[in-house]
């Protein structure tokens, strides 16, 4: 098991948080956006952009429909790679590790912070399933708006979060002449190491 209290992991986590804070200050529209790469049951890689919702000692968290394409891939192969690229900083962070689903309590707490329209959308959308026409989705939205009118929107059982538990965090910084700076924090046999890599 990877030690997420190890000083080197905490150092990497703090470096990531500092970069994310800098990215937020640049005015980027979605500084928490990250590419999420998974591998499905057939061994085919899949990638999409999602939003980071938490990064702490336990890992990096995002939320989604668990029946979606990404949700199915994470059931088949519970590992993922995350990639953050902040163009104004000319910096990139790569995170890799095993994935676990967050607790119901965590999912409920985050769900309660979501805009009502997003909550309704989670009920209305059968994420990743074929849609004959846009009007079908709009009809589903209207249906759930009526269903939950005047009351809190509950979290669907198929909507939750996933936590990537890092065993690798790599920092990349652009440098002149393509002599980029790369530093990798990696856990091997449960012990964290810090490596400087060739660009």
Q: How many whole angstroms separate alpha carbon 89 and alpha carbon 72? A: 34
DSSP annotation of 11 reads H
Both ends of the chain: CA-CA distance in Å? 30
> Which residue, chain included where needed, has tokens 């939205």?
141
User: Is 178 an active-site residue?
Assistant: yes
Q: What is the CA radius of gyration of the chain?
A: 19
Residue of 178, 182, 184, 193 marked active site: 178
Annotated catalytic residues are 178
């Amino acid at each position: 098991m990877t030690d997420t209290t190890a000083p080197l992991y905490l150092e990497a986590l703090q470096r990531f948080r500092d970069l994310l804070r800098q990215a937020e200050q640049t005015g980027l529209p979605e500084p928490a956006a990250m590419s999420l790469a998974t591998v499905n049951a057939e061994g085919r890689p899949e990638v999409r952009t999602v939003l980071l919702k938490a990064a702490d000692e336990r890992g990096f968290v995002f939320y989604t429909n668990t029946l979606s394409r990404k949700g199915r891939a994470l059931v088949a192969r519970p590992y993922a790679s995350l990639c953050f690229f902040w163009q104004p900083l000319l910096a990139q962070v790569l995170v890799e590790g095993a994935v676990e689903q967050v607790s119901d309590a965590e999912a409920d707490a985050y769900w309660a912070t979501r805009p009502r329209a997003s909550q309704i959308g989670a009920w209305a959308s059968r994420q990743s399933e074929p849609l004959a026409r846009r009007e079908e989705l709009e009809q589903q939205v209207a249906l759930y708006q009526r269903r939950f009118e005047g009351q809190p929107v509950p979290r669907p059982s198929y909507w939750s979060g996933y936590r990537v538990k890092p065993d690798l965090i790599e920092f990349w910084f652009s440098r002149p002449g393509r002599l980029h700076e790369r530093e990798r924090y990696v856990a091997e046999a449960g012990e964290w190491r810090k490596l400087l890599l060739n660009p």
